Structure 1
Amino acid sequence: MSSRPTVLLAMEPALLPGLLDAQALARLNHLADVVPGLILHGPAGPSDAGAPGRSAALAGAEVLFASWGCPPLDEELLAAAPRLQALVYAAGSVKGIVTESSRRRGVQVSTAAWANALPVAEYTVAAVLFANKQILAVREEFRRVRGTHDWRGQLGHIGNYRRTIGIVGASRIGRRVIELLHPYDLDLVVHDPFLAPAEAADLGVRGVELDELCAVSDVVSLHAPHLPATEGMIDARRLALMRDGATLINTARGALVDTPALSAELVSGRLNAVIDTIDPDLLPADSPLYDLPNLLLTPHIAGSFGNETRRLGDAALDELARYAAGLPFAHPLADDRLDRIA
């Protein structure tokens, strides 16, 4: 490995200005020899397989500096990139990019999933605290009243003191949520089949089965990956276990929740929800969910958006600096966790 690796950018081209400002681009060019004028994105097809410079760029690339839109490291790409040794990923999940072929090749992988987890956790904590204050319901009532009112008398049931928060999934994001919630006077319960009792104790939470978590929590927040075992895990039966007036937060994957069952509970007004990911990803325009007063629905923006993407770029540059210096990645992908990540 040279001290200045040859780097090929691999992402949706429109993402680059958000990831790397002028100062970060200067740092990238100081650390590596960047292939000029070409950004690899999407799988190669008949129309672009012979695109000018693509073959030569792949042939010389030692590192892919990548983000959303990076093509999978499949047999075809690896054959075209015989010198490829590392993927530095300035985004979250690499599940659709890392392949068995790249693992056999021994391609080192760093991911900025830890950095992308931070805004998701911040969004979640804000949602938890607002949920227990019944902000959506209070807003609707304030719109209706528009004047003097006995708010203390009407809202004596709201507040965050000693509420129970159920965290589904002690994932990277789930653990960050736990960390951020600890300063508040909340009781935290967690469901995760891979979380040992001793580890739960170290996190300062109580491990419970999912049914119990749904039944005892004032807020249920989802942070599990989408796997065959987790698809539809929050179904009609488990939604029915939740307390009247409880709130479901989903910043994980929409497929974890039975959308028709959730819709029925929300339309009835029995439950509240904060939903950043839903199944399907795009609801039909006439869906009643857009207009419900007890639902805060956002278009998958809990993760890195706006200036938060700069954090991803800076994190990836730090990893590239370590690689160029011959050091191991600070945030490597653990192969044994690939089948458990989102």
Structure 2
Amino acid sequence: MRALLAMPAGLQHRMFTASQLSRLRELAEIDTGRTVPDLSAAEDAELAEVEVLLTGWGSGPVDAAALARLPRLRAIVHTAGTVRGIVTDAVWERGDLTVTSATEANAVPVAEFTLAQILLAGKRTLAQEHAYRRDHRPPTSIAASEIGNHGAVVGLVGASRIGVLVAEHLRSFDVEVLITDPFASAEEVTALGATKVEPEELYARSDVVSLHAPDVPSTRGLVSRGLLALLRDGTTFVNTARPALVDLDALRDEVVSGRIAAVLDVHDDLADDDPLWNAPRASITPHLAGSQGNELHRMGEAALEEVRRLRAGEPPRFPVDGGRRDVSA
């Protein structure tokens, strides 16, 4: 089975360990020492033999022109999350290609990061650390009854793959979990140890609200000024999903005023003078929740498993449905 690393130069060494690359060579006929970032620049003779493309962040689109030169192509194994921008309509129209993604593997560190931020929010760490740095003594402005995770209410906006993982993690803690998602049934939410509620109830009752909805047209601006206004004073809002889902002006107003706290791991480019940078109750991180460093090897392992299944004639573990290819949260 001939395979090709259709990704930016050097990316294979970030996604796979040396051992994993060795196993890849055992599973397929592939040169793991080189990549082909641009399929249009590849030789016709090489592409004519390729059965599997391994793609990743920064890979070029597999369009109709590329497919015309890939007559034996059976599958596109994506080592990252969403395949948007790489898998074009031409792939789905061909009808006989398998597409897989490592989104499930990437969901693991996002859920871990989110869990950590939820628990830290229960301790009111942003407000307490700021006051401690300023006054050099334990803060007295926050009532003891407002601090802690015992009996706290955590609201999850979206029962996506990450939202489900977070809910499962939270079952180990003494917290109440609320979930709002129009596509999840009450029975499905109950099975996660949570309660399904409407958005207004979730925002009004939660001590922490964590966003886990996909970035699709229907969710743009999902977190509105009106919903943010329902948050009680001191609530923490966590966004590891997508910035387009949130009314940034409204969130800025609430956080800069000090009424609520926010953990923003995803955000549009903020101007250098944006007041959020210096807001005491804002944590702004450079998209750290997703796979970093050695966590990338988990995604590489997921891709290896898909290649193994292809070789063995087994169905893929995490196929991408053409009708839902933009859903990655």
The SS at the match of 1:175 is helix
Larger deviation: 302-311 or 5-14? 5-14
Q: Distance in 2 between matches of 1:154 and 1:131?
A: 15
The SS at the match of 1:40 is coil
TM-score, normalisation: structure 1: 0.90
Asked if 2 retains the 8 angstrom alpha-carbon contact of 1:8 and 1:57, the reply is: no
Q: Distance in 1 between matches of 2:244 and 2:141?
A: 39
> Where does the alignment leave 5 or more consecutive residues of structure 1 unmatched?
none
Match of 2:320 in 1: 333
Match of 1:102 in 2: 91
Do structure 1's residue 120 and structure 2's residue 113 form an aligned pair? no
Match of 1:317 in 2: 304
Match of 2:36 in 1: 40
Q: Distance in 1 between matches of 2:46 and 2:125?
A: 53
The SS at the match of 1:249 is strand
1:107-162 per-residue CA deviation (whole Å, 9 max, x = no partner) reads 10121111100000000000000011000111112223324x58698534200011
1:70 deviation in Å? 2.0
Distance 1:122 1:150, change over 3 A: closer
Q: Distance in 1 between matches of 2:44 and 2:207?
A: 56
Do structure 1's residue 306 and structure 2's residue 293 form an aligned pair? yes
Q: Distance in 2 between matches of 1:195 and 1:26?
A: 41
Match of 2:8 in 1: 12
Distance 1:14 1:155, change over 3 A: farther
Q: Distance in 2 between matches of 1:207 and 1:336?
A: 26
The SS at the match of 2:320 is coil
Match of 2:171 in 1: 182
Asked if 2 retains the 8 angstrom alpha-carbon contact of 1:10 and 1:69, the reply is: no
Large movers: runs of 4+ above 6 Å: 150-153
Match of 2:148 in 1: 159
Q: CA RMSD in A?
A: 1.9
Do structure 1's residue 286 and structure 2's residue 257 form an aligned pair? no
1:241 deviation in Å? 1.1
Amino acid at match of 1:314: E
Distance 1:328 1:226, change over 3 A: same
| Matched ranges for 1:162-173 at <5 A | 162-173=151-162
Asked if 1 retains the 8 angstrom alpha-carbon contact of 2:219 and 2:245, the reply is: yes
Match of 1:135 in 2: 125
1:40 deviation in Å? 2.8
Distance 1:27 1:340, change over 3 A: closer
Distance 1:245 1:153, change over 3 A: closer
> How many residue pairs get matched?
328
Match of 2:56 in 1: 67
The SS at the match of 2:10 is helix
Amino acid at match of 1:110: T
Larger deviation: 218-227 or 12-21? 12-21
TM-score, normalisation: structure 2: 0.94
Asked if 2 retains the 8 angstrom alpha-carbon contact of 1:322 and 1:329, the reply is: yes
The SS at the match of 1:121 is helix
Match of 2:195 in 1: 206
Distance 1:54 1:122, change over 3 A: farther
Amino acid at match of 1:299: P
Match of 1:232 in 2: 221
Distance 1:30 1:207, change over 3 A: same
> Where does the alignment leave 5 or more consecutive residues of structure 2 unmatched?
none
Asked if 2 retains the 8 angstrom alpha-carbon contact of 1:38 and 1:54, the reply is: no
- Identify the match of residue 192 of structure 1 among 156, 160, 181: 181
Asked if 2 retains the 8 angstrom alpha-carbon contact of 1:40 and 1:71, the reply is: no
Amino acid at match of 2:287: H
The SS at the match of 2:266 is coil
Larger deviation: 293-302 or 11-20? 11-20
Asked if 2 retains the 8 angstrom alpha-carbon contact of 1:90 and 1:316, the reply is: yes
